[in-house]
Structure 1
Amino acid sequence: MLEKYKTVYEGGEGEIIEKKSRFIATVRPVNTEEEALAFIEEMKKKYWDARHNCYVYSVGKNREYTRCSDDGEPSGTAGRPMLDVILGENIYNVAAVVTRYFGGVLLGTGGLVRAYSKSLQEGLAVSTIIEKTHGISMEIITDYAGIGKIQYIAGEQRLPILDTEYTDKVVVHLLVPSDQIQITEKKITQATNGRARLKKDRDLYYAAVNGEIKIFQE
């Protein structure tokens, strides 16, 4: 299991012109190979009149489903350079199609590699890329004397507080990265002299999206 990984939250479309050829890069988040293949077919239908619709996708925490295609361009000049961009940016669960409308001028193998790489980089630049962190939602039940200490620990370790319920006691739901679970439990137990009750609610992934914390069930 990946503790952290980068992925696409919202896809985008970037475009470059290289010696009169038009390169359109469309990026999409995908969770299965079937989604990736359906997206590729969608782009081929949308740009049915283009000379080439080259693609790449990488799906799975271990990149179990990773493929790329030159779609008629000289071998190794389109799909592989696009895959190198995805791997270089270390992005998971992503698919991209770069559509080329031929402008009448041959680019040569080096020119093609640069054009397909650059166009995909443009597509990624206008997409929303996030970093998901694996962790747990920790439920903490404490008295009013302990809430300030828990809030201090959360702030010190930069742990997002999902919500806080105030009744005759205080219930706090805290997001804790996997690699900080033990130290967080120890600090809270020590700070409250063992009075706080801690329970692991659920495993999850979370990420900051436009300044807000979003939770993902995977």
Structure 2
Amino acid sequence: MDDPAPDVARYPSTIAETFEHELVVKKSRFIAHLAPARSTEQADAVIAAVRKQYWDARHHCVAMVIGTHADQQRSSDGGEPSGTAGVPMLEVLRRRELTDLVAVVTRYFGGVKLGAGGLVRAYSSAVSEALDLVPVVQRTPAVRVSVDVPHPDAGRLQGVLRDWAAARDAQVAGVDYAANATITLLVPPARLDDLDASLAAASAGRLVAERGTTVVMEHLSGAHGDTR
């Protein structure tokens, strides 16, 4: 039996797809729109599209976190009282340790005032409930590794390396065919020595994995769920 996978460092996660969720509080509709965004320009395009779609709504409140290390953050109350919408939404994204996404919550006023506390709860709940339902992409550091394989052995070694990667939180990123078949893998740093040993065993010591740069590897998981 393989040893359990070691603990690995993680970057902030992101979401896998655009998602929309509606919450009704005292007749007011809060429509939370989540979208992946890898730049502020992409986030701004999402915000503009939501405003166009729901052009007749009074409020469009925004929170975004951008960057591999979540180093760009921005929020807007969209006309609600200061501190009652954008910042609470942003706090949800921070608490969930997410990045590269934008959240826009559109509000249709239902005729009943919620007060500052009620608005904070409604806007944060709209984002939190949406995040409970959307698929999440986890990110971890990995080393890009290439293995040159003679063509007669390529099919067998691809199978061996795919099985190895599936059991160790690694990924086969692709195969290129030239003079040899070059198999590219993304491997957690703690698994590099394991790869070397497994490759040597599978090739009678003839093949060597060439280590390259460290990159971000993405793994699709289920819905995020609350981490409070």
TM range (shorter): 0.7 to 0.9
Q: Distance in 2 between matches of 1:171 and 1:60?
A: 31
Identify the residue that residue 64 of structure 1 maps to in structure 2.
71
Matched with 1:105 is 112
Cα distance change of structure 1 residues 210 and 149 upon mapping to structure 2, 3 Å threshold: closer
Query: Any conservation in 2 of the 1:142–1:195 contact (CA below 8 Å)?
Result: no
Aligned partner of 1:124 in structure 2 is 131
In the alignment, the residues of structure 2 paired with residue 129 and residue 136 of structure 1 have an alpha-carbon distance, to the nearest angstrom, of 22
Report the residue type matching 2:125 in the other structure. K
Shift of 1:26: 0.4
Shift of 1:37: 1.6
- The Cα shift of 1:126 comes to 3.7
From 131, 134, 137, the equivalent of 2:141 is 134
Please state if 1:7 is matched with 2:18. Answer: no
TM-score (norm. length: structure 2): 0.74
What is the CA–CA distance in structure 2 between the aligned matches of 1:155 and 1:67, rounded to whole Å? Answer: 37
Q: How does 1:45-194 map to 2 (within 5 A)?
A: 45-141=52-148, 154=165, 157-161=168-172, 172-185=183-196, 188-189=199-200, 194=205
* Range with bigger deviation, 63-72 or 186-195: 186-195
Q: How many residues align?
A: 209
Q: d(CA) in 2 for partners of 1:199 and 1:156?
A: 20
Where structure 2 has 5 or more consecutive residues not aligned to the other structure, the ranges are 1-8, 223-228
SS at match of 1:61: coil
Deviations 1:104-160 (A, max 9, x none): 10111111111101111232234321112332342335687x959867755653434
Query: Which stretch shifts more, 193-202 or 31-40?
Result: 193-202
Measured in 2, the distance between the counterparts of 1:20 and 1:151 equals 53
Offset at 1:81?
Answer: 0.8
Identity %: 35
Distance in 2 (CA, whole Å) between partners of 1:161 and 1:38 is 33
Paired with 1:39 and 1:177, the residues of 2 have a C-alpha distance of 33
**Per the alignment, do residues 69 and 140 of structure 1 end up closer, same or farther by CA in structure 2, a change over 3 Å counting?**
same
TM-score (norm 1): 0.77
* Contact 1:3-1:178 within 8 A present in 2 as well: no
2:41 corresponds in structure 1 to 34
- Say which of 209, 213, 223 aligns to 1:198: 209
For the residue of structure 2 that corresponds to 1:68, the secondary structure is strand
Task: Tell me how far apart the structure 1 counterparts of residues 69 and 28 of structure 2 sit (CA, whole Å).
Answer: 35
